[in-house]
Each structure stands twice: as structure tokens, then as C-alpha cells.
Structure 1
């Protein structure tokens, strides 16, 4: 999938596949700027999410990408930056 665009819908799908969702969290709502912790995802879930993104999109994310990405918006932007860099 190199060269593809990574969207919030892609992230939601990967989060659900890897870690599921807390009962009180609506991933269909506006979650772009909510902290992952508010959404019920802790560091282990984000590591799994990062691994799934790497495999599916054929990229390598630095550990700092996952620790610095406190919201879905930041993670989506970071993944897209890696995809753009890889395609260049």
C-alpha cells in the first residue's frame, strides 16, 4: 500500500482490529483531537496499532512517533508523512 493515503477511517479500523474499543467510547464520533487515553487506548494498544500500520503500509515508524502522537490527528499526520517520504 505504499503511496496510499492514511485516513482516520484506516486508523479506526486498525485500532478496532488490534485492541477493540471501550464500551463507553464512540469511535464514529469526532475523535481526531481526543487523547488516545480518553479513547481507552494505552501504550500497549498503540504499539500494536503501530505494528499493524507498519505491516499494512510497508513503513517503519520510530518509537517516538507512537509516544509523541497523543491524538489520532497527530498519528494520522505522522503516518502520512512517512508515506510521502517513502514515495519520494
Structure 2
């Protein structure tokens, strides 16, 4: 289980591992508020990404995350909130 915040770099690494990257998309740019669809990641890719995050960080994400977290910033907030909740409960 992670004790540090989940960062954009963590998310980019897991996105690349889970679904690769469209060669026309620059993940190194300012993507925090860019819709995942604009980044060429559809719901199946986000579902796989969330599964990898759950396994790697020992958390459980609600199923609605896939449909509600439309941007990297939104997903980072959900994951970090869950990590904080788990740390508080420990």
C-alpha cells in the first residue's frame, strides 16, 4: 500500500502500461484538465487503469469512477481521497 500521494506521473505510467498511448497525444503536456477521450483513452482503458491502480495501491475504487472521473485531475483526486481514507483507517 502506498503512503505517498498518487501523482500525475504515476497515472501516466499506469495509463501507458494499461492501454499504451496514441502517437498523436502528448502525455507530457498540460493534460490535467483534458478529457480522457481527447487523450484517446476510452472507458475500457480507464477501467483497466483503475484496476491496476487498485492492485498496485491496495485500494478499492467505486465503479462510478470510470464514468465520473473524466480528466486526469478528477481521477487523481478520487485516488488520493481513497488513499487518505485507507491511511486514516489504518
User: TM-score higher than 0.5 here?
Assistant: yes
So what's the TM-score if we normalise by structure 2? 0.95
Higher normalized contact order (CA 8 Å, seq sep 6+, divided by chain length): 1
Q: Is 1:3–1:87's contact at 8 Å kept on the other side of the alignment?
A: yes
Runs of 4+ that moved beyond 3 A: none
Q: Which residue of 1 aligns with 2:38?
A: 38
Q: Which residue of 1 aligns with 2:84?
A: 84
Structure 2: 5+ residue runs without aligned partners?
A: none
Structure 1: 5+ residue runs without aligned partners?
A: none
Q: Which residue of 1 aligns with 2:72?
A: 72
Whether 1:59 and 2:59 are equivalent positions in the alignment is yes
So what's the TM-score if we normalise by structure 1? 0.97
Q: CA RMSD in A?
A: 0.7
**Distance in 1 between the 2:29 and 2:74 partners?**
17
